[in-house]
Structures are given as structure tokens and as C-alpha cells.
Amino acid sequence: MKKIGIICKPRPQEAEGVLKELHKWLLDQGLEVLMDNETALMAGTESDYQRVHLPPICDLIIVLGGDGTLLSVSRLVYDYDVPILGVNLGGLGFLTEVTLDNLYPTLKNVLAEDFELNERQLFDTHIHRKGERIAEYSVVNDVVINKGALARIIDLETFVDGKYVTTYRADGLIISTPTGSTAYSLAAGGPILYPTRRAMILTPICPFTLTNRPIVLPDDVKVEVVLATENEDVLATMDGQLGFSLECGDIVEIRTNNKKIKLIQPIDKDYYQLLRTKLKWGEQPPIRKP
């Protein structure tokens, strides 16, 4: 690895010192450091690059921030075979697994090629209106279809591979990747899936019928959700960052993308330890060990 990209969440008070120190450390290793213009400004230097320009010219991209920053970067890199190292600057951080305390030991291992690649699947999301495709997105975490501020239930007719499943009468519906199973889907009562598994999760949000429970589907199916409610403010939101306003009769189609994002994971990283830490599970050690 010779060319290292850095993308930092624009949060100067928390990130500026970390960024400047990291920039100097990488230069001291004889590496070429590339940054987008906003990140460069925080580091006290200049750049003509925007974020979208970095993936095709970098061997590695370091993301300083939280899961939201990493999600936005992931949608830029999946067309390129470039891994991401997510560094957590605070907050929950299921994707940005590397802590500041472990940043430089982890980087030394990465430069020595002593690491694991954790591959995560994506969804392709297409929105159809009156027989025409009017929008398309790539999704790392989830697609959420839900109403606006008014407390009214919406009807979402749901099909899998053209077969009718049910009409969810609910506040909304979450279609999640395994990576997104620890995000909004978890808060809505969905299951946790091991993030490298290949599957799709449908999780209704506050369903009117309590027997409408989350369901896990194979990753090779096509899910179609038809908005069957008129005169409501309904949005399809991708990864909590991109939104599209829906009309009655619109179809939200979700399929698994064959491409993957590659997250660098330290060799000693334990996903179950991550769950215990992030979700505040019991800290008592097991009585018996295998």
C-alpha cells in the first residue's frame, strides 16, 4: 500500500488533532497521503480532490468519524477494489471498529498486510412509478419506507419474487442487510445477523397487526413493496442519508448487489465482543469454556 486516502467527518473540535497527527504519521512512513478538500482544510493543507475522486486512486481509505461517515464513503468505493479502515471518533460504531487507542498498532499491522478483510453485501434499490424507473440507489445498511410526522398507518403491499407475502399496515417497513441488522432494524425489534452472512431482513415498524413479525429471506430474492396508501407523506430512505418521496402506487424494488464493500478488520477483533461492548450485554465471564 503506497497511496492512503483519508476522509474525515467535518467535526473539527473532535477530529482535527487526530487528523493532523495521522497525516504526519503516514508521511513519516514514506506513504503518499490523499485527502478530499474538506478533510485537507482540517489538516491544515490543501487538496483539489473531492470525496468521489479518491477511491479510484487509493490503495486504502481511512475513514475518521462514525458509522454514518463510513456509510457515505462505502457508497463511493464499492465500484473499486479498495478497502476501508473505519476509525471511531466516538458514538456507537458497529462499522468504525478501530478505536483511537488502537489506531497506530492497527495501521502498522495493515501496512505489514497482517489483517482480515470483512466483505459486506449491498442492495440495489430501484423505485418505479407508472412503469418507469425514476430513481436508483446502492444501499449498505437498509431501505426504510415510512410516513411523515402525522401519526397515521400506511399500507405496504409486499411481494417476494412476484409472490404476495402480506400487506403491512404499519408506521413503515425496514428492508435491511445483515450489516444493517444492528441499526434501525434492531431498534424496531429485528434480529441480529452475523454481518458477513448473505440475507435480507424485513422488519415492520410498529405494525397494526402484532402477528406481523420480522422475517429473514435468502439474499437471491427480489423484494417489491408497493405503497397502497393515498394522500400521505411517505419517504423511502436509504442508509438514513438519502431520501425519495413516494406516491401511491410507487414500487420500491430491492435486490442484492453482486459487488461488496471491503472493511479492514484487525486480526484479533471479535464480533461477539463488539456486540457485548456496544449493546451493553452482561460482562460476567462464562463459567465453562469450550
E-state strands within 50-131: 60-65, 84-88, 116-129
Known catalytic residue at 36: no
Asked whether 140 and 239 are in contact (CB, 8 A), the reply is: yes
Q: Whose grid coordinates read 429485528?
A: 190
Residues whose CB is less than 8 angstroms from the CB of residue 128 and which lie 6 or more positions away in sequence, other chains included: 134, 250, 251, 253
Sheet holding 199-205, edge to edge: 215-218, 199-205, 172-176, 142-147, 234-238, 242-246
Nearest Cα to Cα of residue 265 among 3, 33, 87, 18: 87
Q: Which contacts qualify for 24-27: CB closer than 8 Å, 24 or more apart?
A: 25/104, 25/107, 26/107
SS3 at position 46: coil
Among residues 28, 48, 59, 67, which one is catalytic? 67
Gap between the Cα atoms of 97 and 86, Å rounded:
6
- Could you count the other beta carbons within 10 Å of the beta carbon of residue 136? 12
> Which residues are marked as active site?
67
